[in-house]
Structure 1
Amino acid sequence: MSEILLCACRESLSNPGELGLSGEELLCVPWLSSAESGEEARSLMRGPGIREAWVVDPCDIEPINLAASLKVDRPDARICLVSFSESGSLRSRARAANIDALYNRALFVKRYMQAKCAAAGANRSLHQPEPTKAQPVPASSPVSEKAAGSGASPSAETRSDGVGPATDRRREREVSMRLPQGSAGRGFVMSVVSGSGGAGKSTVAALSALQLSARGLSVALLDADLQFGDASGLLGSCDSLSIEEVAEHPEVLGKNAEAKGITLVSSGDRPERAEENAPLLSAAIDALAGCFDVVVVNTGSFWDESHAVVLERSEKALLLIDQRFSSLKAARRCLDLCARCGIATVPFVLVVNKVSRNCRISLEDASGFFDDAPTAFLRDGGSDVEEMLSAGMSDELLSSRNELCSSLAHLLDGVLPFANIADGGVDRERRPALFCWGSRRKA
């Protein structure tokens, strides 16, 4: 019995490429039921088995209205609305209807691939031979699989459709390469660092978390500036979890991972406990990466062992340079330090911050200083950014035409792996490279 229902018109079901699912056959997927009309979808949801619904574009009713009706019919089911042109009005209507998730193209493809992997894993577990107590057999042994398949029952390696466990495993590996994977779980870890204070790390980290959360992702913001972190103030003095409780009791993240908004984790207002909290950063990042789609890590200006822990677990690290020439030199020293410590420089993204018409340091200057390395930039957003963030007006700031928010959104599109999936597999060569250094670690 299928557990997931896809509500879409005949054209979308017949041409999955329009949904970002090129190569899939939605009408032949055993774990997925489909409905073209709202009446058919509501009828299927009343039956047993369906626990989740994806509403795309039914042929006879507005998607938001169908999603709201399904939620009323089945409040226990997970109802997800899929829209490739979402707006603030649509998000408000979805929230008012208690719809569980609003997916854009990237998130929809990601959820589909996760469900596909889960179905493939469940299918393999049904065919996995159980070893006898008298003669235990390792489940991963190739010899035991052949021996188990030599009896009267047909072997899983010789299925009539030509798809065996080896093919399933290969497909699962291909899918996992497309999905963002964190260092300890499914979350993508992105850190924000600089070689000196005042470069804008806290502001960029807070804005990144807000923008990613607005896209429908579950986001955790870890303030690893253990002495003087101010992420809480920039998020409107929101409640936060402590690094100690997240590292030592990760079960506290259960409800936060499902809740809307950003989960903030910090050391609080106790700078004297920085040395005690530093050894807990590794466990805290692992716990957060296992529960959230994205983990944004803010760091302090003083480099120590905690920076090494954060960078080793980061898929990407934004290295900020402000409009001081001393900031350029400090960034160079940071990269040299990473090279001496054996930390790969591949995750780094060199970012020139506070770019304006009258800025002292241009992209060309920064690129030349780092041996013509590709660079990205963030425009100067002015005093409005910090004032509106501190006042809890993040929604108004993100919806405004502030240059910092706009340039940061463009930067995140290139940094996060979801952007390529959202474009239906667009060639990455069309996008400008951000940072392409190889590791300087000596063999």
Structure 2
Amino acid sequence: MTKRKRYLLCGHGESLPMAEDGTTSLSSVLEELAVEVCAEAVSARRRVNEEHFDFVWVSCCEGAEPINLAAACKRDSPQTAVYLVTVDRTGSVASRAQAAELDGIVSPAELGEHLLKEAARNVDGDRGDGGSAALRLAESEDARQALSVAKTLEANRAGFLLTVVSGSGGAGKSTVATLAALLGARRGLRTALLDADLQFGDLAALMGDAPSVPVEEIVRTGAVSDELREAPLVLVSAPRALERSEVVAASMGSVVDVLVASFDFVVANTGGGWDDVHLLLLERAAASLFLVDQRASSVRACRHALDLCLRCGIATGSFLLAVNRCTRHAPFTSIDVSSALDGAHVAELADGGREVEELLGAGMAQSLVEASSPLCISIEGVLDELLPLASHPASAGVQAPLARIGLAPKADAGLRGKQRKRKGRASRREGALAKDAS
């Protein structure tokens, strides 16, 4: 007797529209096929890890975005056929599904029709060998176009996406993201600064008269003009109208695709409140800079946010944690924060003092970089760790494309730190000798 296939539906069963004939109900179809239903993301992942399923269909689940849950299920059980159930077949979704090595994308209607056919086969007495249980759906023209766009973007992608986040507001994300973008451009990298704080982003005020394009324009056109692509640094500003933030958020994946295909280095600033945009940017990032400030509440919020990332299946291996506004008498150092976060590696960003707030408030961020503020020097060290292949300014007229690369070995960062300390001690000895001589 042929073994019966096992199915798992991650989502609510009522989300599948079925062309019922009056005699076949959705519940009877799911019961006939012995489809297990999980409406909550954590339960779904636990079942995938506990049991063997031949097919997993991921629809709308509580606790995680469907594409993230589908990717996590595929990673947990590579031998299982995992399908994303959605009506959204844009290039962004197709690209993410392809990167996660999912077995396909189907609409709720297509899955409903497939289940009805499988139930009918069982009723007719053909339990089958499971061969027809795999979805063999003809690709629609929209799906083919979306996949073509996704492959084109993936082939052309060369940009390094750095996402700047924190567990709560006020940690200094806007300042650090702005200075990181300016320092990246100074290295000779064609840089885009994305203000993904879609409701209250104010990077346009910090950047002064830098070349910029509203994020709505990229959503509308799906491209960056040739003139802006050749600029050393371009600001992609937040929506001009607050009520447009939700519309832009739904297309943020496509915006990221365009930017990483158009620039060498993309820095994404985020808002204080966590949402799907945060998770998307963290999932897409080549590296993420997680800021903690000098408040105890900031450390607690960091733990909450990191726990959320783990529950959503977002790998934290590319995260670099940094404690901001470090001074000699600061309440927290990197050692304190590392201890609170179970020994995680934590960098330090120096407090730039009143000069940072004054120059940024006047839209003179470039002046802050040129003045070699202690904060800028700290961020430069972070970029040395994150961008090991572009740690020095490019030669004049040379724009070396930056491939997607991982974090630099921590040993190299430690060596650079020791070298800087030795230089500092040597300078102090020379100063003391000169004073004695005089």
For 2:413 and 2:354, the matched residues in 1 are separated by 31
- Tell me which residue corresponds to 2:337: 366
Deviates more, 1:249-258 or 1:225-234: 249-258
1:207 aligned to which of 176, 179, 204: 179
SS in structure 1 at match of 2:251: helix
1:256 aligned to which of 228, 235, 249: 228
* TM-score, with length taken from structure 1: 0.53
Q: Superposition pairs for residues 171-320 of structure 1, below 5 Å?
A: 185-236=157-208, 238-260=210-232, 262-320=233-291
- Tell me which residue corresponds to 2:306: 335
Deviation at 1:419, TM superposition (A): 4.5
CA contact (8 A) 2:188 2:393 kept: no
1:431 aligned to which of 396, 413, 424: 413
**AA at the equivalent of 2:414:** P
- Tell me which residue corresponds to 1:344: 315
* 1:220-272 Cα shifts (integer Å, max 9, x gaps): 00000000001111111545312222133133332211123x21112333122
CA contact (8 A) 1:246 1:253 kept: no
**AA at the equivalent of 2:385:** G
SS in structure 2 at match of 1:342: coil
Shift in alpha-carbon separation, 1:427–1:414, aligned structure 2, 3 A: closer
For 1:253 and 1:386, the matched residues in 2 are separated by 32
Shift in alpha-carbon separation, 1:222–1:322, aligned structure 2, 3 A: same
* 1:47-76 Cα shifts (integer Å, max 9, x gaps): xxxxxxxxxxxxxxxxxxxxxxxxxxxxxx
* 1:299-326 Cα shifts (integer Å, max 9, x gaps): 0011011111111110111100000000
For 1:226 and 1:372, the matched residues in 2 are separated by 33
- Tell me which residue corresponds to 2:350: 379
Deviation at 1:292, TM superposition (A): 0.4
Q: Superposition pairs for residues 64-75 of structure 1, below 5 Å?
A: none
For 1:215 and 1:427, the matched residues in 2 are separated by 20
Shift in alpha-carbon separation, 1:372–1:185, aligned structure 2, 3 A: same
CA contact (8 A) 1:267 1:277 kept: no
For 2:252 and 2:415, the matched residues in 1 are separated by 30
**AA at the equivalent of 2:342:** D
**AA at the equivalent of 1:210:** L
1:356 aligned to which of 308, 322, 327: 327
SS in structure 2 at match of 1:290: helix
**AA at the equivalent of 1:192:** V
CA contact (8 A) 1:237 1:390 kept: no
Shift in alpha-carbon separation, 1:220–1:421, aligned structure 2, 3 A: closer
* 1:362-403 Cα shifts (integer Å, max 9, x gaps): 111111011111110100001211321333433432122421
For 2:202 and 2:174, the matched residues in 1 are separated by 7
**AA at the equivalent of 1:399:** E
For 1:214 and 1:420, the matched residues in 2 are separated by 11
- Tell me which residue corresponds to 1:399: 370
* 1:157-184 Cα shifts (integer Å, max 9, x gaps): xxxxxxxxxxxxxxxxxxxxxxxx9897
For 2:155 and 2:334, the matched residues in 1 are separated by 31
SS in structure 2 at match of 1:430: helix
CA contact (8 A) 2:219 2:248 kept: no
**AA at the equivalent of 2:306:** L
Deviation at 1:417, TM superposition (A): 3.5
CA contact (8 A) 2:299 2:337 kept: yes
CA contact (8 A) 2:202 2:238 kept: no
For 1:244 and 1:335, the matched residues in 2 are separated by 30
For 1:351 and 1:366, the matched residues in 2 are separated by 9
**AA at the equivalent of 1:371:** D
For 2:198 and 2:155, the matched residues in 1 are separated by 22
Shift in alpha-carbon separation, 1:297–1:427, aligned structure 2, 3 A: closer
For 2:230 and 2:371, the matched residues in 1 are separated by 28
Shift in alpha-carbon separation, 1:273–1:194, aligned structure 2, 3 A: same
- Tell me which residue corresponds to 1:388: 359
Shift in alpha-carbon separation, 1:427–1:244, aligned structure 2, 3 A: closer
CA contact (8 A) 2:321 2:347 kept: yes
For 1:392 and 1:195, the matched residues in 2 are separated by 26
* Higher Cα radius of gyration: 2
**AA at the equivalent of 1:369:** A
Aligned length: 251
Shift in alpha-carbon separation, 1:428–1:201, aligned structure 2, 3 A: closer
CA contact (8 A) 1:244 1:280 kept: no
Shift in alpha-carbon separation, 1:183–1:350, aligned structure 2, 3 A: farther
**AA at the equivalent of 1:344:** A
Deviation at 1:279, TM superposition (A): 1.0
For 1:206 and 1:199, the matched residues in 2 are separated by 14
The percent identity for this pair of structures is 45
**AA at the equivalent of 2:162:** M
- Tell me which residue corresponds to 1:411: 382
For 2:388 and 2:155, the matched residues in 1 are separated by 14
**AA at the equivalent of 2:280:** V
* TM-score, with length taken from structure 2: 0.54
Q: Which ranges in structure 1 are unaligned for 5 or more consecutive residues?
A: 1-180, 435-443
For 2:156 and 2:297, the matched residues in 1 are separated by 36
